[in-house]
Structure 1
Amino acid sequence: MGRIATVDALSRRNCLSGDITCVLFEDSDESADHLLCGCSVANHVWCMVSRWCRVSPIFVFSVRDLLGLSDFSGLGVLAKEAFHGILIVGAWCIWKARNNKRFNNTLKTAHDIFLDIRSLGFLWYRNRSMNKAISWANWCSFDLM
């Protein structure tokens, strides 16, 4: 933990000076915990993920909490495995959206990020899980049986 090259972390290492505001919503300083858990865009993304995966609303305050969330999801074995992967893919997609905004000045909406999570999550799950027979339609409805 603490190794993600957010603006806040780079500033603490004296690698960057200037504005350390989150580029996705410009509502707070950009730290890993803010970017993946506290940012309004991330909160909206996690809300869509929780509805899709039929779990309780996702409210986390740290990256560590986010990565451990699948243990307390109440899902079955296959769904729990998929949900854990979705959380990791989700963090990756939020990070990519942040980089696109910071370096290319292209902003993705929370809905666009969610769609990326769903499609990349499907590719990951289909290729890494024992459940190789899952269809796109079943994935989109989070029906993993």
Structure 2
Amino acid sequence: MVSHFCEQEGERRRWFFSWRRELFQWELDLVSQLNDILEPVVLSLDDDSWIWRPDVDGIFSVNSAYNLLVDELRSEDELEEEVAVVFEQLWESPAPSKCVGCVGSVESSIHLFLHCPCALRVWYGIFRWLGVVIVAPPSLMLLFKVMKGAARGKKTRSGFFMIWHATIWCIWKAQNKSIFDNDSFIPDDIVENIKVVSWKWSLARMKTSPCMFYEWNWDPGECLLR
């Protein structure tokens, strides 16, 4: 029952939740966002109803959901044409690809960019670099939301989105080199390449004070807060 999670204090309502484990810092930020959403909620005895907030009429439609995702994933700055093509084709590519980390397998894009053991090691390396502990989610969209929740502010969030794109881009290029150039897919090397690529992108695209690469390599979050 909803009443089990809130109590009235005069004219204000205080929400409280119990968790089965201690929350990570990025999860605490999400709880704070949840409290902000619940703050204006008014409880009543009327029948419950669903309202789709992204639509002015409160009615869900595929078009409004699509526009919401486009706005959520759109970068503040235009990507280079070659990079943009990768992201446009990533989500609904009809052609299966070979996974260099899984011999003999024909895999989906989700596997290639996330669940393949090699790709997963890259993501773990990136999140470790960002100071975030994660458990691999079932989809890239949820992984994107994890990175969004880990950001400490708007500027950091934009930078983390850029790092997310850089990671996808570098995994894509490494997969292609492994297949077409018989190159090695080495997760640790790819992580280091992502750091370099994202640093260069930050200098070219982010509206922040420039930082040296050693600073970016040490803590990109601090660089993004400048």
**Structure 2 spans left out of the alignment, 5+ residues:** 1-86
Counterpart of 2:176 in structure 1 is 99
Structure 1 CA distance, aligned partners of 2:101 and 2:185? 9
More strand by share: 2
Residue identity matched to 1:122: W
Q: Equivalent of 2:100, from 20, 23, 26?
A: 23
Greater shift in the superposed pair: 42-51 or 54-63: 54-63
By how many angstroms is 1:47 displaced?
0.8
* Structure 1 position 76 matched with structure 2 position 162: no
By how many angstroms is 1:56 displaced?
2.4
Counterpart of 1:140 in structure 2 is 217
Q: Deviations over 1:80-100 (max 9, x none)?
A: 222111111001100101100
* Structure 1 position 40 matched with structure 2 position 121: no
Structure 2 CA distance, aligned partners of 1:73 and 1:118? 18
> What root-mean-square deviation, in Å, do the aligned CA atoms of Structure 1 and Structure 2 show?
2.6
Alignment CA distance shift 1:58-1:73 (3 Å): farther
Highest CA radius of gyration, 1 or 2?
Answer: 2
Structure 2 CA distance, aligned partners of 1:116 and 1:82? 16
Structure 2 CA distance, aligned partners of 1:40 and 1:128? 31
* Identical aligned residues as a percent: 25
Is the 1:70–1:84 Cα contact (8 Å) retained in structure 2? yes
Quick one: higher RCO (CA 8 Å, sep 6+), 1 or 2? 1
TM-score by length of 1: 0.80
Structure 2 CA distance, aligned partners of 1:56 and 1:44? 13
By how many angstroms is 1:131 displaced?
1.0
1:55-70 to 2 correspondence within 5 Å?
Answer: 55-57=132-134, 59-70=136-147
Q: Equivalent of 1:9, from 78, 85, 94?
A: 94
TM-score by length of 2: 0.53
Residue identity matched to 2:90: I
Is the 2:148–2:160 Cα contact (8 Å) retained in structure 1? no
Residue identity matched to 1:123: K
Q: Deviations over 1:106-126 (max 9, x none)?
A: 113001110110000000011
**Structure 1 spans left out of the alignment, 5+ residues:** 12-19
Structure 2 CA distance, aligned partners of 1:45 and 1:3? 21
